[in-house]
Structure 1
Amino acid sequence: MLTIDEDSTRFDVDNSPHAHFFCKRCTHIYDLPLPPGIKYVEGQKMNGHEVAETHLYYKGTCRECLAKK
């Protein structure tokens, strides 16, 4: 379940580790590869805390909307 957009809830069928990009103009959500050095750590410990979820969201203007400018 994605909650990147405050106005709606969406579901992602791809449950492999990846990031999301939300376009503030057209509201489309794109899957993105994880940036180098970023990894999901569910089930691992960080500073004594057990991580249950990791979310990586980017927000901005997608390339399609930028091309329409």
Structure 2
Amino acid sequence: METNTTLNYLQAHGIKPSLQRMAVMTYLIEHRTHPTADEIYTALHPSIPTLSKTTVYNTLKLLTEKGAALQLTIDERNCCFDADTSPHAHFLCTRCGRVYDMKLNQAELIKCACVPDKFQTEDAQLYLRGCCPRCAALNMDN
């Protein structure tokens, strides 16, 4: 991704750019694998030796607070992150651990919930768990 694109994206979300913030955001945008903070740190540390895990965690916290990224808790063991902040669902393959994006009609999802009067819904997340087609095919081969 171009540096200007990441810079503009951060500024549009009210985030003051820094080398570390730019690197983390660029990584998220370029790697749609829903990485964990540790995966991001491991990938970026060789090219930014002064980068600390604390900086990565703090950057991810800032990105999620400002709406520039999503924090996913689909897997109770790991928290992962997504640069795609548009309404969509996530599917966790319980065999390989990969997280997939799924199209979602958020308005329809909210209608499915019995939200009591006077509650105002701001966001809805849908997590699905099961077996992905790749793992299912591998299971059939055995």
TM-score w.r.t. length of structure 1: 0.80
- Larger helix share, 1 or 2: 2
SS at match of 1:11: strand
Distance in 2 (alpha carbons) for counterparts of 1:14 and 1:29: 13
Deviation at 1:50?
1.6
2:83 matched to 1:13? yes
Count residues with an aligned counterpart. Answer: 66
Identity of aligned residues (%): 40
Higher relative contact order (CA 8 A, sep 6+): 1
**Could you say which residue in structure 1 is the equivalent of 2:74?**
4
- Structure 1: runs of 5+ lacking an equivalent: none
Alignment of 1:1-69 (within 5 A): 1-34=71-104, 38-39=108-109, 47-69=117-139
TM-score w.r.t. length of structure 2: 0.41
- Structure 2: runs of 5+ lacking an equivalent: 1-70
Root-mean-square deviation (Å): 2.5
Contact 1:17 1:40 in 2 (8 A): no
Deviation at 1:48?
1.0
Runs of 4+ residues deviating >3 angstroms: none
- Larger strand share, 1 or 2: 1
Deviation at 1:46?
5.8
